[in-house]
Structure 1
Amino acid sequence: MNYGDFYRSFEPEPFYLERGWMIGGGRIGGKAKGLSFAHHVLEKNGLLEDVHMPEYSFVVTTSAFDEFMELNGLWERLESLREHSDAPELYRICAEASLPPSLEEPLEKILSFIEVPISVRSSSTLEDDVNLSFAGKYATVFSSNAGTKEARRAELESAIKMVYASTYNASAREYKRKHGIKWGGERMAVLIQPIEGRRYGSMFYPEMAGAAFSKVFRRPSPRIRKEDGVARICFGLGTRTVDRAYARTFYLTNPNLRPEGTKPREIVTHSQEHFDYVDLDERKFSSLHISKHVKEVLKKHKMASAYLEWFSENSFHWIHTDRGNLVMPRPVFTFSELPSRCPKLFSRLKALLSLFEEELQLPVDMEFAYEADSDRLTLVQLRPLSVYDDRGRVEIPETPPDEVILRGSRMVANGRLEGARHIVYVDPDIYGKRPDFSDVARAVGDVNDTMKDERYILVGPGRWGSSNPLLGVPVRYNEISNSGCLAELGIPQKGMAPELSYGTHFFLDLDGDNTLYLPVFEGEKGDVFNREWFDGHPWKKTGHPAVRLYEGLFDVLLDGESEVGVVIDRSVGGKGEK
């Protein structure tokens, strides 16, 4: 049997048909298939009492999508947007369109069953495939499901149309182009589920949410076993585990290990401070800084001290301590005591990942919600995991210091990119001086568009693709899709630090595209950020003064065993314009 054939042969529809959850006669798509397979495995192994699943999972099949496109004459209209990144126009067209009459009664039925906030998830026929995940390319929309019956219905319809529109967004189009997928060859199904969580006044959220992976293809240390898996966990809705925002990474070889370091300042730099929830009064997705909600969290969450601490004067303190003796205490989600207070969570995750991988016959990733006080784990998604192609150890030759442009000494996986002809560089001294973060990202994207036939090196401060532009350039997938290596610069004085946020949609893209990753921490022993090279070497101007384009001949060599990675200048007499 060929790679992935077993999962491809699995028939997911009976799970939905038997429960009356399947709407329409079309296909159910990848995300819905993964959930059906998860239920099959849990039921087969007698685990449905230990691992919960959403109470309802309705699937609006691809036949409704076809009706939507036909009814509103959208095939031709959206075709005209194919070569453009006109997202506002795309979403406006779909928002003003009408859903097909065939959804009238099914949507009423869904709202009669689900009384809590709703997640409306994409389930494209291309999504969560054995080889290509399309992770994060399409929309997941949260609906508050609050207010009058008419308001609830309008909100649900709007969410479905947003998911439909995301079929044609710029990142999805570029992902298809890069992987040779023909335009128009996909259809979108929609998965509608109650959001896992509880109501706290006007707020609705799970205590914790996470994503877990059965293999660790990019390890911060050789001590981490690739086979043991890894999880990313946050407080509140799980958006922060899959976006490049702060969440706690737990390597299941040793959940107490912190890849960011053990010093309090290192920990606090990488710790979650905002959390996401559904605001039932305002009927929208919202975020809040934990400092504005500490009393409520301590009152309503019995296990809060397992994941929440005060940070003061470069030390952490018990969250229930008397703050009168602390200087400017700052609450942060460190999750320091979670492994010892909730050991069953980690043993269960490790066992589940192993079981799902064995049954699927492929590495897997899953998303879940967790209530610590009741030790309730709910699985909300399962899919095949994109596999990073580790080609074995790479030997790094002795190189004159002036030819070493970058050198990193941790969070390095094996890989090489030789003979790259360009470096795209975002100057950390210019980035952030003005609040034109999106302009910088668009300038990077413009350069990326000119390099569809090569793999270049991308270098910039902080985290590429960050949801917070103060932490790094907020590029989208289509703006960095041709890069062969992403280098992230840690600039302490700017509060910008790389993070191996393995398991985010961003890193799943790197794995799927075999893109190398190199973090470099300026000032750290063993690391090199050769500012003299970047300031003294000729470059070409781009659409933004912070973005430079260097021409030459460059090698990227990453040795995961010694945890050393370098970018070397092999140019001889390279010329450019400054």
Structure 2
Amino acid sequence: MACAWPRRKRRFVHKDKREGAGMISTGDKGLDQVITGLQLGDNVVWQMDSIDDYRGVVLPFVKKSCEEKKRVVYIRFANHKPLLKSSKNVVTYRLDASEGFESFSAQINRIIRKEGEGVYYVFDCLSDLLFAWSNDLMIGNFFKITCPFLFELHTIAYFSILRHRHSFMTVARIRDTTQLLVDVYHHKNNYYIHPLKVWNRYSPTMFLPHIRKGGRFVPIASSGDTARLFSSVFKSGERSVKQKLDYWDRLFMKAEDLCSRAGVSRAKREQLAGQISRLIISRDEKILRLAEDYLTLEDFLTIRSRMIGTGFIGGKSVGMLVARNILLKEKTLQAEKFFEPHDSFYVGSDVFYTYIVENGWWKELMAQRTKDGYFRLARGLRDKLSGGVFPEEIKEQFRRIIDYFGQSPIIVRSSSLLEDSYGNVFAGKYESVFLVNQGTPEERLAAFLGAVHRVYASTMSEDALAYRLKRGLDKVDEQMALLVQRVSGAFHKGYFFPDVAGVGISYNTFVWNKSMDPEAGMLRLVLGLGTRAVNRVEGDYPRIAALDEPLLKAHAGAGDARKFSQHDVDVLHIKENAFQTVSLDDLLGKKIDVHLDLIGTQDHEAQGADGGQEPRWIITFDRLLSQNGFRQKMQKLLKALEKAYGYPVDIEFTVNFKERGEFQLNLLQCRPMLTKGLGSRVVIPDKIAEEAVVFASSGHFMGGNISLAIDRIIYVDPQAYCAIESQSGKYDIARAIGDINRQVSDKEKCAAILLGPGRWGTSTPSLGVPVSFAEIDNMSVLGELAFSGNNVMPELSYGTHFFQDLVESGIFYLSLYPDNQGVYINHNILDAQSKTLSEYFPQYKKYEHVIRIFDVKDKGVRLAADIMTQKVMCYFSETEPQKG
């Protein structure tokens, strides 16, 4: 069944303007007598059998209004023939409802606000919105937010719905909200009206059916006549059993019928599958083509059986489902032999907007969507989204999820409309919440609702809003659907986690050795939950493996192997009912049953130094990558997805081992990955004087071959930054960088290099500058400097959400290790007199010794990098480096 929502009584009080206004004519004297005329603020809904019937009540109303020189606004959005023509007193607004509920509703809101008080409106038939939105729920939502606004401005508005096209629940919601609801019938050459609701007016016969006789409507007072009329009318209409169903449900009933019948043509099935695909998969034509190729009508029925509410299932869900089917259809891969079945539920995108509408926050959302309110009002709306109430009908469906999963751990993941699409992946912008899922059913439901609130509230996070604004998506419909998944893994002595989790990328732009092929792809692997694979984690390093050279590491020696490895593991603690991070040594000390022979290498040097009897381990995944066919399968898998998508892809996955070490893989996510490729070879000059070099390095960069003229260098001095004792001072540096970033604004006009200690974007200020990505997104080049005195180290964050941000923003990344061979930093240049920070931002004068700004436009500064030689250099030169 479609979502049902509780009916709520509405009391509108604006007597100051209504009193003394007098009766306003419908243009039909007989109708005026029945309903005692119209009043300012009235929303009038006509329920009828045809558009011609609606036109029959609209034209007299508009004619009368024009005679009285009233301004009439016609809202045109439907496929049916126009109801009105524009004229001196009639203005037409043409809208496209297919752009989505929010965009459409926001445009209506702006029109009403612009037109002001006392305007008369005629809307096209609301039933036509079913073709754009697919379900009654959103039509009800649209009416609930539009009708009160029209009432407040003392307008009169005409709407219509077609009989038998909407569920009883939808009609009830409209009836609750409107001031007038009138049925119109044609039967046996007679014309009838039947007022069902007339607010603030009453007569003894008002709510009886009326038959037109001449210019009057005469009430049908006889029970026999009334019974005969309605029995005949309903016999000619659709049976009431079907009208209890939403349009959405009827569509899936049709799909079920086609799937159950033999002999139905393939074309007919594909046509219906395409229709459904546009309602639950995407509006993106590229994604729709993938769905057409890899999702069947049966797949859509399976999705529907696990859906809460209606609408789109969102990009993350679509990516997971399409990718799994791509791989299952790739016969040479034999994925069915090593795939875990997915076990997911989907909360439709319509539930998100209904949550907002039902809690009365729509006006605030519209105010937040304005230029002035975009960031300013987001925090308040985020707080509200964190604590709203769901209707009991939806809560009951959420209980279904809780009952189904029992006490198995689950994760509630964002799956917005735009997420994981071509060009906009929203990596890490929205929340995903692990639930250990222990306790009573009531406690588990409460935790689940809290997780849903958190994901919904994350739509108002500064990073998410800045991301949308940067990509011109701030006015685009972005509803939040949810993907609810069973957490992949196993119980390990009170903990729950997978043996391996990771990220796979089909095109490896981070190659650190000449022998590597970017086309081979790469993996980023961790023990435990995948949070440490997709996020930059302070003091910890996942294993990065190039799939053509899986055992070739970016560091050398046992000391480096130990240092640049995983030291902590993210797990779900069953008894504590909480997500936790535990040290690898503590976890292994509990003698948990993990396949250390596949994921680890014994650290004999550390064991000898400790003098202990127990073996020490470094998580390297060396054996997994070199045996059991794992590497080969992952490479084939990534290439199969890349071929189907027509684009490099980025996946998230887990691996769990069976008793004999055979692995099972669970594909959690797949999205197209933006990449510029290597680009043309760049020959780095070898005769540049040392004093003309700003910095140079071998390796440790990503972003392909590059030759870029630099206009500005922003340098955060590592020693001065680390000497700042207070946390607040280090956060001041981050805010200053954000202001500098905003001043840059357009990287096409000002190519800037940002250099600073440790990890940009860290949550631990002692390890780097704690900026948000929105505070560095206008940079052209981002450099991280090692500062060994304070153990502040960069991290090549390939495969993380941070990496996705760099790629999407076109930012070249490099890390500089001053103690490494082949690395040079010219401190004479970076310590030289620069434009003082206070010239740009007087409020940061006290940090002039920490942040230096060099404007080098027209001074011949250039950054050049070449993948094949693994060299990068920033230098002063009067000539460009040669291109090969």
RMSD across aligned positions (CA): 2.7
Q: Of residues 430, 439, 449 in structure 1, which corresponds to 2:742?
A: 449
Residue equivalent to 1:358: 643
1:418–1:214: structure 2 CA closer, same or farther, 3 Å change rule?
closer
Following the alignment from structure 1 to structure 2, what is the Cα–Cα distance between the partners of residues 435 and 291? Answer: 32
Contact 1:323–1:329 (8 Å) recurs in 2:
no
Residue equivalent to 1:576: none
Q: Of residues 242, 253, 268 in structure 1, which corresponds to 2:562?
A: 268
Once the 2 structures are TM-superposed, how far is the Cα of residue 111 of structure 1 from its aligned partner?
Answer: 0.9
The reply to whether residue 10 of structure 1 matches residue 290 of structure 2 is: yes
Q: Of residues 789, 799, 805 in structure 2, which corresponds to 1:509?
A: 805
Residue equivalent to 1:416: 706
SS at 1:151 equivalent: helix
Following the alignment from structure 2 to structure 1, what is the Cα–Cα distance between the partners of residues 376 and 713? Answer: 24
Instruction: Give CA deviations for 1:454-482 in whole Å, capped at 9, x if unaligned.
Output: 34211112222335544433332211111
SS at 2:326 equivalent: helix
SS at 2:351 equivalent: helix
1:473–1:308: structure 2 CA closer, same or farther, 3 Å change rule?
farther
Following the alignment from structure 2 to structure 1, what is the Cα–Cα distance between the partners of residues 733 and 491? Answer: 40
Contact 2:379–2:460 (8 Å) recurs in 1:
no
The reply to whether residue 526 of structure 1 matches residue 830 of structure 2 is: no
Residue equivalent to 2:532: 240
Contact 1:356–1:364 (8 Å) recurs in 2:
yes
1:55–1:40: structure 2 CA closer, same or farther, 3 Å change rule?
closer
Following the alignment from structure 2 to structure 1, what is the Cα–Cα distance between the partners of residues 722 and 374? Answer: 30
Give the counterpart letter for 1:187 in structure 2: Q
Following the alignment from structure 1 to structure 2, what is the Cα–Cα distance between the partners of residues 429 and 278? Answer: 39
Contact 2:786–2:792 (8 Å) recurs in 1:
yes
The reply to whether residue 202 of structure 1 matches residue 486 of structure 2 is: no
Once the 2 structures are TM-superposed, how far is the Cα of residue 350 of structure 1 from its aligned partner?
Answer: 0.9
Instruction: Give CA deviations for 1:235-286 in whole Å, capped at 9, x if unaligned.
Output: 1100111112321001100110101x12122222211101111222332221
Following the alignment from structure 1 to structure 2, what is the Cα–Cα distance between the partners of residues 280 and 532? Answer: 56
Give the counterpart letter for 1:440 in structure 2: I
The reply to whether residue 338 of structure 1 matches residue 624 of structure 2 is: yes
Following the alignment from structure 1 to structure 2, what is the Cα–Cα distance between the partners of residues 559 and 381? Answer: 32
Residue equivalent to 2:507: 215
Following the alignment from structure 1 to structure 2, what is the Cα–Cα distance between the partners of residues 76 and 459? Answer: 43
1:51–1:435: structure 2 CA closer, same or farther, 3 Å change rule?
farther
Once the 2 structures are TM-superposed, how far is the Cα of residue 221 of structure 1 from its aligned partner?
Answer: 2.0
Contact 1:203–1:280 (8 Å) recurs in 2:
yes
1:105–1:266: structure 2 CA closer, same or farther, 3 Å change rule?
same
Q: Of residues 845, 850, 853 in structure 2, which corresponds to 1:549?
A: 853
Give the counterpart letter for 2:669 in structure 1: Q
Q: Of residues 417, 420, 425 in structure 1, which corresponds to 2:715?
A: 425
Q: Of residues 434, 453, 462 in structure 2, which corresponds to 1:170?
A: 462
Following the alignment from structure 1 to structure 2, what is the Cα–Cα distance between the partners of residues 561 and 412? Answer: 12
SS at 2:321 equivalent: helix
Contact 1:239–1:276 (8 Å) recurs in 2:
yes
Give the counterpart letter for 1:431 in structure 2: Y
Residue equivalent to 1:103: 394
Contact 1:119–1:195 (8 Å) recurs in 2:
yes
Contact 1:264–1:316 (8 Å) recurs in 2:
no
Following the alignment from structure 1 to structure 2, what is the Cα–Cα distance between the partners of residues 13 and 158? Answer: 34
1:336–1:42: structure 2 CA closer, same or farther, 3 Å change rule?
closer
Identify which range, 461-470 or 198-207, moves more after superposition: 461-470
SS at 1:536 equivalent: coil
Give the counterpart letter for 2:565 in structure 1: S
SS at 1:10 equivalent: helix
Instruction: Give CA deviations for 1:40-91 in whole Å, capped at 9, x if unaligned.
Output: 2233235453232454211111110110121223344354485437886454
Instruction: Give CA deviations for 1:310-351 in whole Å, capped at 9, x if unaligned.
Output: 657xx466xxx896368x9975423343324x4322121111
Instruction: Give CA deviations for 1:106-147 in whole Å, capped at 9, x if unaligned.
Output: 211111111311111111111111122111111111112111
Give the counterpart letter for 1:179 in structure 2: R
Following the alignment from structure 2 to structure 1, what is the Cα–Cα distance between the partners of residues 592 and 807? Answer: 41
The reply to whether residue 378 of structure 1 matches residue 666 of structure 2 is: yes
Instruction: Give CA deviations for 1:440-463 in whole Å, capped at 9, x if unaligned.
Output: 333322221222123421111222
Q: Of residues 421, 439, 451 in structure 2, which corresponds to 1:159?
A: 451
| Aligned pairs, number | 558
Contact 2:758–2:794 (8 Å) recurs in 1:
yes
Following the alignment from structure 1 to structure 2, what is the Cα–Cα distance between the partners of residues 316 and 254? Answer: 27
1:21–1:531: structure 2 CA closer, same or farther, 3 Å change rule?
same
Instruction: Give CA deviations for 1:508-559 in whole Å, capped at 9, x if unaligned.
Output: 1222222111221102222112222222232423647333333223422112
The reply to whether residue 288 of structure 1 matches residue 582 of structure 2 is: yes
Following the alignment from structure 1 to structure 2, what is the Cα–Cα distance between the partners of residues 86 and 528? Answer: 47
Give the counterpart letter for 1:114 in structure 2: F
Q: Of residues 399, 405, 414 in structure 1, which corresponds to 2:688?
A: 399
SS at 1:353 equivalent: helix
Give the counterpart letter for 2:619 in structure 1: F
Residue equivalent to 2:326: 41
1:101–1:570: structure 2 CA closer, same or farther, 3 Å change rule?
farther
Following the alignment from structure 2 to structure 1, what is the Cα–Cα distance between the partners of residues 326 and 721? Answer: 49
Residue equivalent to 1:258: 553
Give the counterpart letter for 1:274 in structure 2: D
Residue equivalent to 1:464: 760
Contact 1:406–1:568 (8 Å) recurs in 2:
yes
Instruction: Give CA deviations for 1:180-229 in whole Å, capped at 9, x if unaligned.
Output: 22335311111000111112233211111011011112321231111111
SS at 1:450 equivalent: helix
Contact 1:30–1:123 (8 Å) recurs in 2:
yes
Contact 2:506–2:522 (8 Å) recurs in 1:
yes
Q: Hey, which of these two has a bigger chunk of helix by percent? A: 2
Residue equivalent to 2:144: none
Contact 2:693–2:875 (8 Å) recurs in 1:
yes
Contact 2:328–2:336 (8 Å) recurs in 1:
no
1:187–1:484: structure 2 CA closer, same or farther, 3 Å change rule?
same
Residue equivalent to 2:310: 25
Once the 2 structures are TM-superposed, how far is the Cα of residue 155 of structure 1 from its aligned partner?
Answer: 0.9
The reply to whether residue 73 of structure 1 matches residue 73 of structure 2 is: no
Identify which range, 74-83 or 127-136, moves more after superposition: 74-83
Answer with 1 or 2: which has the greater Rg: 2
1:547–1:73: structure 2 CA closer, same or farther, 3 Å change rule?
farther
Residue equivalent to 2:23: none
Instruction: Give CA deviations for 1:388-435 in whole Å, capped at 9, x if unaligned.
Output: 343311233343322211212113453436343322222211334435
SS at 1:526 equivalent: coil
Following the alignment from structure 2 to structure 1, what is the Cα–Cα distance between the partners of residues 640 and 380? Answer: 45
Give the counterpart letter for 1:552 in structure 2: V
Q: Of residues 485, 494, 498 in structure 2, which corresponds to 1:193?
A: 485
Contact 1:244–1:467 (8 Å) recurs in 2:
no
Residue equivalent to 1:369: 654
Once the 2 structures are TM-superposed, how far is the Cα of residue 99 of structure 1 from its aligned partner?
Answer: 2.8
Give the counterpart letter for 2:733 in structure 1: V
Give the counterpart letter for 1:480 in structure 2: I
SS at 1:220 equivalent: coil
Q: Of residues 61, 64, 80 in structure 1, which corresponds to 2:351?
A: 64
Contact 1:54–1:194 (8 Å) recurs in 2:
no
Residue equivalent to 2:779: 483
Give the counterpart letter for 2:791 in structure 1: G
1:288–1:442: structure 2 CA closer, same or farther, 3 Å change rule?
farther
Give the counterpart letter for 1:287 in structure 2: T
Compare relative contact order (CA 8 Å, sep 6+) and give the higher one, 1 or 2. Answer: 1
Identify which range, 17-26 or 535-544, moves more after superposition: 535-544
